[in-house]
Structure 1
Amino acid sequence: MKPSARRGLAAAALLTIAATLTTPATAAPPSPSTGLTGETAAPVTAGLAGESGAPIPSSATGVAASQVPTGRPAGGLPVGGPAPTQPSTSQSLADGLPIGDSDLVETRSSESLGRGVTLTRIVRGTEPAPADQINTTPRGPWVVSVLTIDPRRARGQLQATYGADLARVEKTSELVRGAGAVAGVNASFFTFTANPTYPGEQVGLGIFDGKLLSEPLSDPAEANLLIDAKSNKVLIGHLSWTGKLRNRWTKAELPLEFVNHPPVVPVGEAPGDVVLFTPEFGAATPSGAGVEVVFDRRGCVVRTANTRGTTLTKSQFAVQATGPDTNALLALTTRGCVDRQLAVADQRGRKVQLHKGLYGVTGRYQLTSNGVVVVPPGSGSFFDRNPRTIAGTTRDGKIVLATIDGRQTTSVGTTMTETAAVAKALGLHDSINLDGGGSTAMARADGTLVNHPSGTNGAERAVGDAIVFVPHH
């Protein structure tokens, strides 16, 4: 890949994601094997790999699995959700979350959403925060919603879903309801306002049912969550990828810059982009200057156009090229059919097998690794207190999806350091920070929210994708 290739990011709410992402250089496809943190190498199928890439995140918004606050604990903070069971109260850090002052009262309530699936609500602190102290107060309060899935008991599959297509956005609650899921949370960082035409496009890795639909980035800050739905095993790590077209007859090859990402039209002699588009991208491929070649499922040319923008059937794919790369694409496809060669690998270069039932989403920073906090120090709005969405696994293999409400007097949110502390306190051996801010959301099967998003009047933001737990029927 060209070092200059870039994928732009946008910011949502108060989280600024101003940056461009550099695509990793093309390399030979990694050798077979596996390896990310969590579970051991073998579980998630022959490995998951990846580099990541680029400056930071976009917003966060999500879906929750219960109703907006209705009850009130001591101190008048909203609790929300159905009547709790198994209540408990603690007043020391030894028993509670390690954030804020040690004398804060903490209450917890839990309910079963089905065999092996538990929803827990944690409220730490009892007094609303002064509006001008949300980002600094040690008194909280904090409201945390925790969805715990025990793969040994739960009857269903953990999956990722993006709705109608990759280009559009939908609310987490709509994605949960549409998937027929027990519950779910928002997942990847996405383009959002950076490209109003394709707001749902993922910024980083996207694997859905074994298909690589968005490539990982080169920025080491990107963290990837891989899910083997068949076994409900989860791996967390940093992946890389390579992609190319290869003419079967001439053996000529052409590297791919991106997967399902609008190419840049260069000025002058600057290099262009070569981008693979699949039918999952949207109603049509991006239009504009350049060339576009459409292929059938065998990789044989269906049509070639001297401008970009077309519709694809479910059995077709397209490759667009801009700038000087247009000539290279036309030369490669003049005669003969092509093979798409996409490979994903872990940090050790071990190949990740792309198979049905494999899903992958994008986070920004790993929080814990092997039980140790690994999030780096940082400054700026992204590292300040914000709503957060967390995904991870416990040492004994349970899967945890959690949301932390923020930017509200009734729940102030967490810094990146505080988020990692919460993840560790929840017993997450390996965990990552998913999209947060206005995107943070958790929702139930019927689409009702469990948490309280930070939008005006608790309004839920539409997002690019979600992680959901779908029961067996």
Structure 2
Amino acid sequence: MTRRHERSAAGRSVLTVVTAFGVLAGAALAGAAPAGAVPTARRIAPGVTYRQFDLAVAAGTTHAHLLTVDLGNPHVRVDLLHPGAVAARATVSRLADSAGAVAGVNGDFFDITETQHPGVEATGASVGPAVADGQVLKAAVPKGQRFGPALPPGTSTQDVFGVGTDRRARLDRLSLAGTVTTPDGALPLKGLNQYALPQNSVGAFTPRWGTASRERAVCGTDTDRAAKCSTETYEVKVRDGRVVSASDAPGSGSIPSGTTVLVGREKGAQWLRKLSVGDRVRVTHTLVAAGSGVPYAFAIGGFPVLRGGEPLSGLDDATSAVRTVVGFRGGGRQMLILALDGAAEYRSGMTVAEEADTMRSLGASDAFNLDGGGSTEMVTRAAGASSVTVRNHPSGETERPVPNGVGVFSTG
């Protein structure tokens, strides 16, 4: 590790006090602290506090790190941490330091390995939608193409946790709406900077994608991530509204400003083959929210575990793991960010069902699961420090590069 971990001796003595999980889950008051918690929260910045505590769960004792963020504080904002390209990765500490965040945590699940597709490199791109600083970065891959644990019934890869321009946190669902218009007519756009496209579709890649190969986008099917790559593919580059080149296979390398690369598979490829160099093409795309309609300043993918104060039905109550979860209380005005410790004595973690109960005990009305295991990481920056400190122990013993995260920023 290049960053030091902090765990004070005074904190350790307090944290030896652990209560049964049933008592924790039964805490009724909003914001009630779990027994065994550090008695006072440490102020990271105006409106941002940090504390840590032990939890007794079915697998034993786990250790939690908690950030509380007051979104009503005018000096505080939350945004997406990302390395500048969708198909790229960096450690949470590097992402936070580069962006000037005072705290941060890892984000969405991502395309981490492609062992099922020999010769095809993993892109590192995230599964779900992503919005940073009010700008749409990408849309969600098909449900059958996701990485991560099984989704709870009724949830989707389009589910997000976000903060609107009204400075309120909420759970929502963001779907892609777009069109490719050519001299032969219009076709719905089914992908935006995604590592996997739906079958028989056309997807768009913009300069935000990065330099990674677009080959992975035509591998797998809507129901089977490991299925073979499509043999019927086509790629068209559009610059300033006109086709400038075409290829039978998806390419790689940076995409110049003002250029959109259209990738088609199966029927989508057949449709793109009708185009010729010089043809006019218009591509539009946006993410449409299913909820309040308030524009998002920030949004990240994962899956919901707690909604309206009630855990979702069908949550996994058997598999324990190190986890990262975000949530909110007070009508979305206060955000909770929790990351479990991956040190050997705590590595068993907790189940998704226990995660939902834990967030409810902390007063959250809604909660959202992010990537866990070796990706789980929380960082904070002490007053006057030039870089962040890693607060938990990553379970892989070193920081894992991730595609995005949740950053907390302060002007105070």
| Preserved contact between residue 388 and residue 406 of structure 1 (Cα < 8 Å) | no
1:406-417 equivalent positions in 2, closer than 5 A: 406=342, 408-410=344-346, 412-417=348-353
| Preserved contact between residue 342 and residue 392 of structure 2 (Cα < 8 Å) | no
Report % sequence identity: 23
Query: Which residue, 109, 114, 126 being the options, matches 1:194?
Result: 114
1:394 matched to 2:329 = yes
1:363 Cα deviation after fit: 0.9
User: Structure 1 residues 341 and 224, CA, compared in 2 at 3 Å: closer, same or farther?
Assistant: same
User: Structure 1 residues 317 and 237, CA, compared in 2 at 3 Å: closer, same or farther?
Assistant: same
CA distance in 2, matches of 1:66, 1:430: 32
Q: Which residue of 2 aligns with 1:261?
A: 194
SS in 2 for 1:120: strand
| Preserved contact between residue 70 and residue 76 of structure 2 (Cα < 8 Å) | no
TM-score normalised to structure 1 length = 0.68
1:61-460 equivalent positions in 2, closer than 5 A: 67-71=5-9, 96=24, 106-108=36-38, 109-124=40-55, 136-137=58-59, 140-153=60-73, 155-194=75-114, 197-217=121-141, 219=143, 220-222=154-156, 223-228=159-164, 230-247=165-182, 250=183, 252-262=185-195, 272-283=200-211, 285-286=213-214, 290-296=233-239, 298-310=240-252, 311-332=254-275, 336-347=279-290, 353=295, 358-364=297-303, 366-378=304-316, 384-396=319-331, 397-406=333-342, 408-410=344-346, 412-445=348-381, 446-455=387-396, 458-460=397-399
Q: Which residue of 1 aligns with 2:221?
A: none
Amino acid at match of 1:261: Q
1:335 Cα deviation after fit: 5.7
Amino acid at match of 1:463: V
1:280 Cα deviation after fit: 1.5
- Give the number of the structure whose residues are more often helix, by fraction: 2
Amino acid at match of 1:192: I
SS in 2 for 1:462: coil
Amino acid at match of 1:342: H
| Preserved contact between residue 98 and residue 422 of structure 1 (Cα < 8 Å) | no
Q: CA RMSD in A?
A: 3.4
User: Structure 1 residues 407 and 91, CA, compared in 2 at 3 Å: closer, same or farther?
Assistant: closer
Query: Which runs of no fewer than 5 residues in structure 2 stay unpaired?
Result: 28-33, 144-153, 217-230, 382-386
1:262 Cα deviation after fit: 4.7
SS in 2 for 1:203: coil
Query: Which 4+ stretches in 1 moved above 4 angstroms?
Result: 72-78, 89-99, 262-265, 332-336, 350-353
CA distance in 2, matches of 1:286, 1:218: 16
SS in 1 for 2:356: helix
User: Structure 1 residues 434 and 74, CA, compared in 2 at 3 Å: closer, same or farther?
Assistant: closer
CA distance in 1, matches of 2:353, 2:73: 32
| Preserved contact between residue 322 and residue 349 of structure 2 (Cα < 8 Å) | yes
1:152 Cα deviation after fit: 2.1
SS in 2 for 1:141: strand
CA distance in 2, matches of 1:415, 1:162: 28
CA distance in 2, matches of 1:216, 1:264: 9
Q: What per-residue deviation string (whole Å, max 9, x for no partner) do you get for residues 19-44 of structure 1?
A: xxxxxxxxxxxxxxxxxxxxxxxxxx
Q: Which residue of 2 aligns with 1:130?
A: none
User: Structure 1 residues 264 and 342, CA, compared in 2 at 3 Å: closer, same or farther?
Assistant: closer
Query: Which runs of no fewer than 5 residues in structure 1 stay unpaired?
Result: 1-62, 79-88, 126-134, 266-270
1:77 Cα deviation after fit: 6.9
CA distance in 2, matches of 1:367, 1:325: 35
Amino acid at match of 1:259: L
1:345 Cα deviation after fit: 3.2
TM-score normalised to structure 2 length = 0.77
Count of aligned positions: 366
